[in-house]
Amino acid sequence: MKNTQWSFLDETDVPETHALPNLHPIVRQLLWNRGIRTEDQARAFLEPSYERDIHSPFLFRDMQRAVDRLRIAIQNKELIIVHGDYDADGISAAAILTHALRTLGAHVDGFIPHRELDGYGVKISTITTLADRGARILITCDCGISNAPEIAHANTLGIDVIITDHHTIPAELPAAFAILHPKVVGETYPDQTLSGGGVAFKLMQGLMQDPETRKLVPANVNPDHFQKWQLDLVAISSVADMVPLVGETRALVYFGCKVLGKTKRHGLRALLRRDKITITDSGPSTPITPQTIGFKIAPRINAAGRMDHGKYAFEMLLAATESDGQRLADQLFENNADRQKLTESIVKEAHEKIKQGELDKHASLVVSGVGWPAGLVGLIASRLKEKFYKPTFVIGINDDRVVGSGRSIAEWNMIAAMQTRPDLFTKFGGHPQACGFSLSDAAAIEPFAAAMHALAEAQVEKIKELIPTIAIDARVAIESLDWDLLEQLEKFEPFGVGNPEPVFLSENLSIVGSEHIGAEGKHLRLKVTSAGQVKKVMGFGLGEHFDDLAPGRIIHGVYNFSKNEWNGIKELQFKLQDFRFSDLEK
């Protein structure tokens, strides 16, 4: 039994006339829990439409300005640099725009910064180097909004900067030629959920839809089809960066997964083949979902920047031949395997430091280590945050570079707190739940930690006592969940941030069988009975509870309901998330 609290979302009785009354009552409940109150809202949610849900790119107030400038640059063969980031969002965004500009005949190069040598965002030294190369336009992808001094430097060197970003807005906006950012004050674009790749996609759409720029498209390329084929990278960027899968982003990921299942990119096809997923013109051998992206594709793309250089993932996405795609995909797989081993080692070291130093006694958690790669501190922070459930900062000390990453809990806006103390950092940026930063030297770690502890104490009441909450959509009888219901529940996909997979509670389940499965017995497979029916329930990661969940015990189980496909066989699957023992045992 985990240290969690349960929150019930089904306390309100849903009106019989709500939304689509012919739907299963559980489906109506789930729609209600997601704030869907009308039939039109329900249809829009359950039946995404590209034509209806994908907004015009020209709703961005600076879009036409950006497109006009790029068209002139393409026609005059000015050097355009697409400056991405080193994670899956920024790399995908840069690949979308580089591919589009190459298709339009532009003189364009992509630039992916090295995580350790360049760090996050745009650097003045990078601007100078690009100016020396003759660059006249710089397009930032998934970065740039926090780089006012750097963009000012670009302006003095005659470089026009077009920012495409979605990160937290700083106090001072850069004086860029054009800013495409859905959260800027006064922005006219109607959806703020876009990832960095999503914003880059809108600029690509603007180029392909503008009547004058459209004339530059080669005769053998259909500009309307071209736009939709880029949705595979939008889906990767959105899932990898954990933006809310609601509104336009929900539709982008919905259709993006379908495009990913037929992707023409040699590198992505090779990457998926390594996971025994074959992509053909007729579709994938296994359905592509956000989970495929989150657990298979994104970690490999991210591994390039964490263990080597993000440019290799960028090159993989744009590989022109099958052999190049295979070679680069293999390299990413090796990077990811090395990343997994090193991550486990550092997590163990971090746990020991926390135990010895009693670092978890504070409202936030700050832990540092010599030699911890900057590319891994975010992963370590995420793992520790899940373990201790408090805002967590992990810092790597490598020679004269002190680089950290943070992951927060739902109750604390991490980046807003950091913005109150800019004096602590040489550079920082991020989201409410995740950040990256640099400190001047190792001596700066202690005052940084003291400041974060104080801010967390002041801003989150009783933060030390917080525990994770599992939101339960509905109480159900497990035997009532059948194939007909599952077919309706599949219309709620894609699942992710903002639209989590439904969670159900079934009470008084009698355990009649229990066995360890998986490497080192990390998982459990239970057999439970309810109303005379036997159901198989999987407990992934619950192997340590084998003795507790013995035959004869009676539990209340919280679980997800889906299907499992293996070797052509389909069966209903119940994935146990948490449990409590029933009062009937007393």
pLDDT score recorded for residue 520: 78
Residue 264: per-residue pLDDT: 95
The residues facing 438 across adjacent strands are 403, 427
Report the half-sphere exposure of 95 (CA within 13 A, side-chain side).
30
Q: Are 39 and 20 spatial neighbours (Cβ–Cβ below 8 Å)?
A: yes
Which segments in the chain show pLDDT lower than 70?
1-2, 10-21, 460-465, 585-586
pLDDT value of position 469: 86
Measure the CA–CA gap between 12 and 274, rounded to whole angstroms.
46
- 457: how many CB neighbours lie within 10 A of its CB? 15
The residue among 201, 195, 196, 159 whose CA lies nearest residue 177 is 159
pLDDT digits (tens, 9 = 90+) for 419-431: 999 999 998 888 8
Q: Which CATH class is domain 53-260?
A: alpha beta
Fold for domain 5-12+470-585? OB fold (Dihydrolipoamide Acetyltransferase, E2P) (2.40.50)
**Residue in 268, 230, 267 with CA at minimum distance from that of residue 252:** 230
The secondary element (H helix, E strand) that includes residue 137 is strand 135-141
- Of the candidates 501, 502, 496, 506, the one whose C-alpha atom is nearest the C-alpha of residue 526 is 506
User: Where in the chain do CATH 3.90.1640.30 domains reside?
Assistant: 53-260
Residue 261: φ, ψ to 5°: -70, -10
Cα four-point dihedral sign 185, 187, 191, 192: negative
Task: Report which DSSP code applies to 168.
Answer: P
Cα separation, 182 vs 28, whole angstroms? 31
DSSP collapsed to 3 states, 425-492 = CCEEEECCCEEEEEECCHHHHHHHHHHHHHHHHHHCCCHHHCCCEEEECEECCHHHCCHHHHHHHHHH
Torsion over CA: 177, 180, 182, 186 (sign): positive
Identify the bridge partners of residue 422 per DSSP, sorted by sequence position. Answer: none
Alpha carbon distance, N-terminus to C-terminus of the chain: 17
pLDDT value for 120: 80
Name the segment(s) of the chain with CATH classification 3.10.310.30.
358-461
Architecture of domain 358-461: Roll (3.10)
Domain with CATH 2.40.50.460 in the chain: 5-12+470-585
Contacts of 26 (CB under 8 A, 6+ apart): 474, 476, 485
pLDDT of 5: 87
User: Which residue is associated with the tokens 């499965």?
Assistant: 517
Pure H helices in 261-376 = 266-273, 290-292, 298-307, 311-317, 322-357
ω into residue 494 within 30 of 0, thus cis? yes
C-alpha to C-alpha distance for 514 and 270, rounded to whole angstroms: 38
